[in-house]
Amino acid sequence: MERHKWPTGSKLTLEQKKELKRIILKGPINNGYPNELWSTYRVSEIIRKEFGVTYHQDYVGTLLHQLGFSYQKPKRRALERNESSIKTWPDIKKAENEGFKVLFLDESGISQNPYTVKTWSLIGKTPIIRHKMSWKKLSVIGAISQKDFHFQIVEGSVKSQDLIYFLKILLKKNRKKILIVWDNLSAHKSKMMKEFLKANERRLRVEF
């Protein structure tokens, strides 16, 4: 069985290794890749393109360890998340007391990013993947309360018109006033959505 021969001498200079580390720290997206995951294959591509040096992928892992990186499972964080808005619980409780039916609404779908992933990051620093909550193929809009659940399947990513159609169904099926709790997805704050919410403000409120 043939074994891969790793380089016995350094092909990258010390300065080139420092530059490689700076490139990696800028992130994969800044280097033309579709997500924030570093693999040994991608790093080997960067080394070849930037420095004209070819390393086997297995050796790239050793090199990354030398540069202070380790292979880690990152935390996910939606770009639409608003850190300053996680304070709506008192308003939600007040709405319930005023006779509103509270529904938590969210969208989901088939993501281009794998669900179980690892990437190279500095040792001791857990990487965070910031990604848009948008998907290809099929998406699902769902709304859940303490007593029931509603959902709708749509083709492609969820758009404002899909959400408006779904909200119309919720209004039709529920006699109570409705409070929708959802995130800061752009479709939730579009001009079309604002006009719809304004037209139905007597029966429909939203919290972000």
Checking if the pLDDT of 81 tops 60, the result is no
Q: State residue 126's pLDDT score.
A: 73
Q: How far is CA 162 from CA 31, 49, 59, in A?
A: 34, 43, 49
Whether 52 and 106 have beta carbons less than 8 Å apart is answered as no
> pLDDT tens across 45-64, in order?
999 999 999 999 899 999 99
Global pTM value: 0.49
Checking if the pLDDT of 114 tops 90, the result is no
Q: Domains in the chain and their CATH numbers?
A: 14-67 (no CATH), 78-111+118-207 (3.30.420)
> pLDDT tens across 16-34, in order?
999 999 999 999 989 998 8
